[in-house]
Structure 1
């Protein structure tokens, strides 16, 4: 009679009761099911014919002569079927029968057992299924020895997930049917120091609870804030090294473990929605053992050029196949187990470059140039940017005067006077390429909440809401934007359309913020104005579209770098900041050097508009000497 303890004993059998005396015992056991071995041999039936007598004893020996004990319960469906002495098992129908009858429930599948049958049904039908691996009496073994012994015999590299003990057993999870099957075939091929065989049992499993745990909305907000602090907007790089021990997350008791699917998916979503222009990503020290989730970024972050995967748990170079869609020029893989599989450095480099042919740096070391076709490559360069384009001098004078007046007010403490520049039915919108919540110094968070980027915003209602209508609403919104100082010397103007009743032009340049969290951050902008004639020979804006982005390194370097006026023998009074800005703008717009521009402004008592009119008149008459234009 089998008690509950007996059942547990059978479930955890590891041959310590499997000596010769036990093998030759001839009592009737409690099992009525056919057994499996690692070799899939034919079962040996004993007992009376037909189904009326006692059930047969099921004894089955595998190739080393040890008794293969199944831990299945005698109450399962397979054990209750009628005994047929003429039944013959064959490999073609066995798995199908098992699948139709539900298989052998309750027990671990022995070595060589197939899970789910051939049709892909059941847990084994998907290559992404979870399996629980059990080592009976595994608690007595050293973890390092046990995993090392299993890996030495298993033909595929594996990563035990959630290695733990339960009673005397060791259990862990495998997230791949092929690997789990390969590992189960190692069963009873390892002999411990006491001469016992080490059994490996495999059971299909639902995903472990920790793998399904979703981050709460408030945890996601904390994660966004943490990632924002780790984001460098000037380099378009995100450093997620050892994020699981980030102080900001630890202090909130938030676990962000990137080898868990839910956590990695949350990170990928934040990246794809906020920084798709990412160029460099550091995922080092995160215990990653597979790259299936990282592969989703191939299409979501197409500009990624540098990827750091060092100090993780990647065991096979096949993981790199999942991310070979990245056009990487820099890659770090050092201190991953896969690095130990290569016999020398050239072999290692060759294997990596096979996946990433454009790679120039590996583990921080420069690589020799890749071998390509012997075709001479002619170096090319982008054409230099051209200067402003005006349709005529009259239009130039009109626009220069307008921009000087507009930005002198825009950069002041109060933008309310801009009401005079807008039509009653004016319309305004703002757009930026990307954003981050709780932005760092170099991000564009202040401009993001009202960004009308129609490539991302598909909802018509939201698109309409983000348009600012009427001059009162437009100027009220402009007052909410960060205070700025524009570098008028950096302005480039292109006239798009000009008629007697309408003028459309684009102005591009740089500015810096002068207060708030992003103080002194340099931005680049492009602004399209559509204007109609105003009664005072000026312009009235009917449509205004502003695009803001982070300035490039070159733009930052050259911003606000206008040279000082040429020294003269006569004393020159010190210019105030507004006068210096006006001087720089006048020189840029007129084409004269700073000395002559200052003279023109001083002669007209620093009235920018009058100085512009006098300059235009004198230039048309040919009265300005050539020396005025020598810079």
Structure 2
């Protein structure tokens, strides 16, 4: 093997002697050797590529001073390829001594023969001689390579391809870059490029620290290049399907349709794994038998169900589906067809059935997709426990604030108006009067996976989310104690403007000495330096006790901030905010308070607008009611007046 190593210095091989050397009658030695290239590509002394991952190599050397050619299996020929590919079985290698003492080849070991395009004979597996001519060469199918990036949809296409190209030693051009669910696919023609790209799996790291997985598989044709069937082929297919349809049972049997005599006799190849064939079948079903109840797709070598998903909406009454004797490898394939309301399903003789530890887990996984299933692989299943609600019900509309009483409502509204007027003014030091001397404050955010893309960076370092922070000392450090520390921290947070019209209040606890309520809504960050406005959503729990001035004093404040939803952003600041005053609301007498409650109940306006209407009419109930009726009929009362 010294000569081989000299010729191929970069060849990483494992040599296994399968047969000791022998000599023919002329004394020329013949040696049969087998070697595996492992995971590396290799080239000959001219720099020509010869091997790919886990394939068999081909080298030319000399044995007893005669040139030797060893042919490899797998991969595509290189520029210096001496001849067409051969077939090998069970690790056998074609070793040819190209010369001998009399100048002719003395020995050749070919288990099943090597085809020659010049009319040579080939020995098949049964030992029979077969002659092949040049016309056979055109029948060999071209091999393409499908590259798959699981969860690749979340990446920018340009970033993903650039990252792979920067590490790949061979320049590549992806064909038909497409997404299927969360997965990205594209195709390559060159085997060396595909092999080099496959070796980059887990070598590219995204911004979240996740490693990008690159998978490779072979395919004999490109599905996106498959054209539609010819009109005459469609007619033959339609005629074939009509004979396979049982009108009494509304059942269509497409089992082994590829070998149907009617189609074979017309040289029509219907392979349901091909998108164009499946689409042709689905079109015929849609146009002729949309009422179909049973469909048999067994024995069609189906390895995916993505194309069948189109039938979910086109055959809404389908109840029975036979997918047995196919090549479905994962239970996740069933997710694309779980829209069928199946009561009967066959999956036996598929590789996915071997992935379950027992029958119970198998039934559970299938029934998770098809909860109404009664029969699986021909066996009756226990009746499912489910709630089949045929009538559509509407979810009740979300109500606004919930107060214990009108008295509590008026107290909290006055408190919030005064609090957020100061909070949004830019000078939050005046909030010292709202907090108890020993008050506590905590800020928390939802879990953040990618901090670089997070829009809540100004809050993240102060977040006291106990799900993320396990260290007790860290939790204690992030808790703001005493009102001086608390208000100083609030002053460091971004400047804001709260939408008072969208604030909701829910009273959790109310006693004579304690009032706990939750305030939720949206606010807008107003940063003059960065010149940007950002809408955030918040939820805030205030634990308060009575204050000496008939107000409220905060003893605990818990603030939760998150990004606003699209709907919240759309509704935010749509209505003009009512004018807020930092001065305390004017006090009213007991009789005026009673009149205010009655007016608010009859007009359905909140207390703020009811009080404004009464004050503008000198607390004349009947005059205020008359003015209110006229303005409402003219549509001049804003919607904010009716938000409670």
Length-normalised TM-score, structure 1:
0.46
- Where relative contact order (Cα < 8 A, 6+ residues apart) is larger, the structure is 1
* Greater fraction strand: 2
TM norm structure 2: 0.45
